[in-house]
Every structure is written in C-alpha cells, then in structure tokens.
Amino acid sequence: MNRPAYVTPAALGDLISRALQEDLGEGDHSSLASVLPDTQQTARLLVKDHGRLAGMEVAVEIFGHYDPTLHVELLRQDGEAVSPGQVALTVSGNARSILATERLVLNCLQRMSGIATYTHRLNEMLRGTSTRLKDTRKTTPNFRLLEKWAVAIGGGLNHRFALYDMIMLKDNHIDMAGGIRTALERTHAYLKTCSRPLSIEIETRTLEEVEEVLRVGGVQTIMLDNFPLDQLRQAVAMIKGRFATEASGGITEQTLRAVAETGVNFISVGALTHSVKSLDLSLKAVR
C-alpha cells in the first residue's frame, strides 16, 4: 500500500526518534542487566484479535531506525484482515535491540490497527452509497501522522492534516469574525494577499446559514454540522451540487447509513481516531 504524501521519511524518522527517546531515556536497564550483549534472538508478532492490520511499514522503520542489523520478515500486509493465532511478522537479531523496540512497535501497531479496523467497519456500512468517510483533527498529540495513515489504510479519506493545509471556518471563527459574510470576505482577501491556493470549507448550523453561504459563494465545501436528517436532505437539495457537502457532528454507527442516504458527499467522524479500541497484538520470543 502506497504511503500518503504526508508520511515523509523526515517526518516518520522524527516521530520514531522522539518516541524512542521518550521510552529509552538513558537506557533499557532491564535488558542491560539481564541479557548478554551478543545474544541473538527471534521474536514473532502474534495476532490475538480479529481486525485489520495497520503499521507494518512502521514496524520495519522502527526496528531499522534503532538497529539496522535487525532482520524483519513481514508475513502480513497493511490493510489485511487478521484473526487470532496468526503471525504478522518475525524479527531476528540482537536481543537487546528487540527488547528496546518492542513496546514502541506494539503501541504503534495496536493503535493503528484499531483505527484501521474501525474505519473499515464504518466503510462497510456505507457500501452501496456514494458517500465517503473522512477523519478529523481529533487525534493524539504527536501521533497524528500514524493515526491518519491508519485511517487511509482502513479505506477512509484524510480530512485536512493540520491547520496549515486548508481554510476551515468553524462556528467559532464565524462568531468571532461577526458572521458568515464577514468571515468569507476576509478569507478571500487574505488568500489574495498571501497568494496561497488553499481550499475553503465553512461550517453551517442552520438552513439559514446554508442560504447565506450560497449567497456569498467562494467555497469548496459546506459542512452541515449536527443537522437532523430532514434538514440534511433539505440542505443537500438547496446546495444542488454547487459545492461539496460534508455531514458532521454526533454521527454514530446507528445513524451513519441514514446520514449517507441524504445524499451528502462526505461524512466526517472524529471517533475514527479518538474513540477506538486497540487491536490486541503481542511480541513473543521464539523459544
């Protein structure tokens, strides 16, 4: 599976470096105390749950970042369905190196696999509709890179990565600016001044706000936040395909399909990254 453009070698390497430093500090005293420096070992990544695997490339990068002499064999691929008892990879080499990287590998893969599993589950609920599932910025600080990558592995779309890659006028922006028209007019002037070709999405809370956005124009996407189903259908009919539509706010597994059937182009779900259960995995030495 191709890496998203935002997963650059520099960004991934920086994340791994900071995470290893956080975990290792001055050294893994447990391993230094009990395992001889030249001990060689093989360990297997065991699957203990049903789900979708994500983070296999990350595991390779972590092992190689810490100790390039470690040999990793991938037995399963990102996005693949897995079940208890399967072996996802083996890693062979210096035992102290395997122990030093074990927890970071597991933390990344368990979290990413949980996100990919839930994203795939919701995508299956949308099957047969034209609506696409998006994530949000409701991510773990310093871990967004991997969480959004996991959404992509699970078949979802990434919304903006951060504050710098698009204009998204939320309710607070609108209220602090003094209204929709003022917020949009200032935004258009700002983009002309800084010469940045950023797309614009604006949040609406009522049908009246949708009407105002349609009058002003100059956006790419209208977000319909916490709209009841009947009002979602009315809003989609009002917009008539002039702009992309995105439903957001409190959408659950129970309401996801009905929201999609209103005809919105996208549904954004913060729970993809902030409320998932990690997939149960473990790394065990081959005895």
Which residues are known to be catalytic?
103, 138, 170, 203, 225
115 vs 13, 53, 107, 263, CA distance in Å?
Answer: 21, 9, 12, 26
- Which helix (DSSP H) or strand (DSSP E) does residue 273 occupy? helix 271-274
Residue 132 vs residues 1, 266, 268: alpha-carbon distances, Å: 19, 5, 9
Give the span between the Cα atoms of 178 and 168, in whole angstroms: 16
Note the Cα 251 to chain centre separation in Å. Answer: 17
Is the Cβ–Cβ distance between 253 and 275 less than 8 Å? no
Rounded to whole angstroms, the Cα distance separating 159 from 139 reads 12
